[in-house]
Amino acid sequence: MRYELLAVIGLIFCLVIIGIEYLFHYRLAELQDEKTINTRQLDQRIKFRVEGIIYAPTDLSRKSEIEALAKDIDNNFETYEKSVSIIENTRDKFDKDDEEYRDLDQLIDRVDEIVDPVSIYASMLDSNDIYHKGYALRRLADLGAEEYRDVMIELSQDKHRDLAYNAAMALAKFGDAENVAAFLLSIQDDRLYSGRIINEFFDDFKGDRVELSRILFENCNPYMMSNIIKAISPYKLEEYHRMFVENSASKSFQIKVASIKALAAFGNPDDEQLLQIAAQDKEWVVRAAAVKGLSLLDSPTALASVKNALRDKEWWVRQTAANALTSMDISPRDLEDILGGYDRFAADAVKSVLYKQIDNLA
């Protein structure tokens, strides 16, 4: 009897738990539905407001609609961005030379004057949400809010890496070489992380890239140096050309490869001899980088080296040479000789590239 009573009590307890869980999920679903409805209503109201601003018949009515929109935004960054997005989408339907495009572009400035997006994002800096705070820092930089630069510097040293990263990226928008370099140097020992983000910083950096790389070169480890060289190579910074030449014979494999790739990007005829030597290197990565660099040089010897690379034992080098040949000034007869010759590797590599180009055209 006692066991039966315990079983009944246990069953009742389970039913109560299931009931509570059901009510909890039911209430969650209700709240989600309410939020969805409220969001949809807000979206419709924002769209209505923006259309009222765009098509307002007088300047006074336009100002009134902008003020009404500011009340709807109510210091909410998502609502603000949604409003601006609607105006931008309408603007982008016109050509940049059209009067309508210019009017809508100026309209965004007028909205910003009344809404004051800087204050919206600045208020987010007090948030406990790390990601909202990081986003606010990036948007403040986009808006050129120099008055928050000290806050960005402080947060670029924060123990939370994502927050420090976003603060440093914001400083990159201001061209702050010293503090951006300080952040990058602080994470240089984390190879996976530093190697991944350094290109982002140089791409977004609005200051003197020569100065930023100088600070980094003076303080970084060899692995970081190789990543910096790869990151700045697209910008062809003449100030570092000599350093790349010297480092092309570096004992560090990573620095050597990065320097060869950087020299290859220059397409400088004075570097041909060095690239010719690198094209014979024992490491295929070096050979491939050198072949790519030689393809930018308009000389018979460079062309001969690239053709010779079609017979390389490494597939990647052959493929690089084949891609390079199709962009070089090669005669139809030379191409026929390769395709119809006895060198299967060379013919297959060139055929592969040509077939891909034909597929792309089709």
pTM above 0.85, yes or no: no
**Residue 219: closest CA among 173, 180, 258, 169:** 180
- Hey, what domains does the chain have and what are their CATH numbers? 238-362 (1.25.10.10)
Helices (H), the chain: 2-54, 59-73, 77-91, 99-115, 117-123, 130-142, 149-155, 161-173, 177-186, 191-204, 209-219, 222-232, 241-247, 253-266, 272-278, 284-294, 300-309, 315-327, 332-340, 344-361
Which residues, including other chains, have CB under 8 Å from residue 165's CB and lie 6 or more apart?
134, 183, 197
Tell me the residue type at 145: A
Can you give the pLDDT of all 362 residues of the chain as single tens digits?
Answer: 566 777 777 778 788 888 888 777 777 777 777 767 766 777 787 778 778 888 888 888 888 888 888 888 888 888 888 888 888 888 888 898 888 888 888 888 888 888 899 999 999 999 889 999 999 999 999 999 999 999 999 999 999 999 999 999 999 999 999 999 999 999 999 888 888 899 999 999 999 999 999 999 999 999 999 999 999 999 999 999 999 999 998 999 999 999 999 998 898 899 999 999 999 999 999 999 999 999 888 788 988 898 888 888 888 888 888 888 777 766 655 555 555 544 555 556 555 555 555 555 54
Q: What is the pLDDT of residue 214?
A: 96
Interval 46-99: pLDDT, tens:
778 778 888 888 888 888 888 888 888 888 888 888 888 888 888 888 898 888
Q: What is the pLDDT of residue 341?
A: 47
Determine how many CB atoms are found less than 10 A away from the CB of residue 79.
Answer: 20
